Amino acid sequence: MSDLAPAGLADGVLFRPVRGGNAFEDTVARLLQTIRLGIVEPGGALPPERELATRFSVSRDTVREAIKSLSEAGYLVSRRGRYGGTFVNDPLPEREVPDAAPPTQAEIDDVLGLRDILEVGAARAAAARELGAVDRELLWTRLGEVSTAAVDDYRRLDSRLHLTIAELTGSPSLVPLLADNRTHVNELLDGIPLLARNIAHSNEQHEAIVVAILTGSPDRAGDAMSEHLAGSAALLRAFLG
C-alpha cells in the first residue's frame, strides 16, 4: 500500500487511466497535478512505478520517462536504498514565468482553444489540396529541420513547420491569424521547461501529420494534429494552470 493520501481523491481525480495518444504528456500532467494540489506533499513519496503504470494504464517506461523529466525540472527526486523511491522535492522549484503577470486560466484556454480551431483546420485543408512538387518538398524539408533541431532552436523550427502547413492551405488570410496565435502559444511555452521526451514524441506526431497531408488524408491529418496539440495543451495547463 502506498503512502499516497487521501486515496479516494487521488484515485478519482488524478490516478485514473490517461489517454493513449499522449500517454507521456498526460502522465507528466497528472503527476504535476498531484504535486500542485498537495495530494503528495513536498518530501512525500509517490507510489511505485509499477503501481503508477497500472493506475494510469501506461507502460512502466512511460512512467519512468515522466518521472525522469519532472526530476530534471526540479519537481521530483529519486533515492536508492531500503527507504528509496521517488519523492516530491522539498522545496519545490519556483515557477518559470515571465516578468509580466502569469496568464489566467481563461487566457490559457482562449489561446489554446483558438490554436485548436486554426491548426486542426489548417492540417485538414492542406491535406485536401493537390500539392505540387515544390510544396511537398518544402513540407518534408521543414519536417526534417525540426526533427534534427537543437534544443535551443526547437521552438523556432517547430513554429516554422506549423506555419508552413498553414501556407499550404492556399488561404493567405489564415497565415497571419495562425502566426499571431503561435506567438501567444510560444509565450506560454516559454514559461515551462522543455522536456526531452516530449520533443521526441512531438517529432513522431509531426511526421504523422506531414505524412497524412502528403498522402491526401484530411481526416487523418486533422486527427493527428488534434492529438499533437492536446499533448502540448496538457503540459501547459499542468505547469501554468
Dist. CA 126–CA 196, nearest whole Å: 29
Nearest to 202 by CA among 140, 159, 138: 159
pLDDT at 99: 60
Q: Phi and psi dihedrals of 190, rounded to 5?
A: -65, -15
Chain position carrying cell 502547413: 165
C-alpha dihedral, 40 to 43 to 44 to 49, nearest 10°: 100
Packing angle of the helix pair 49-56, 23-36 (nearest 10 deg): 110
To the nearest whole percent, how much of the chain has pLDDT over 70?
A: 91
Chain position carrying cell 528509496: 84
Which residue type does 207 have?
A: E
State mean pLDDT over 211-240.
Answer: 96
Dist. CA 240–CA 116, nearest whole Å: 18
Q: What would the grid cell of residue 232 be?
A: 502540448
Residues 111-129: tens digit of each pLDDT: 999 999 999 999 999 999 9
10 Å CB burial of residue 3 (0-12, 13-18, 19+) is exposed
Q: What would the grid cell of residue 84 be?
A: 528509496
Residues 30-64: tens digit of each pLDDT: 899 888 867 788 898 999 999 999 999 999 999 99
Calculate the average pLDDT of the chain: 88
Bridge partners (DSSP) of residue 8 are: none
State mean pLDDT over 21-32.
Answer: 91
State mean pLDDT over 206-224.
Answer: 98
pLDDT at 9 exceeding the cut of 60: no
Domains of the chain (ranges plus CATH)? 7-88 (1.10.10.10), 105-240 (1.20.120.530)
Per the rule left: phi > 0, alpha: psi between -120 and 50, beta: everything else, 81 is left
Report in angstroms the alpha-carbon separations of 143 from 12, 176, 203, 205.
40, 21, 8, 11
Bridge partners (DSSP) of residue 79 are: 85
pLDDT band at 8 (very low <50, low <70, confident <90, very high): very low
Following DSSP, what letter does each residue of 77-111 receive, concatenated?
EEE-STT-EEEE-SSPPPP---SSPPPPHHHHHHH
Dist. CA 203–CA 158, nearest whole Å: 9
Q: What would the grid cell of residue 60 be?
A: 512502466
Bridge partners (DSSP) of residue 172 are: none
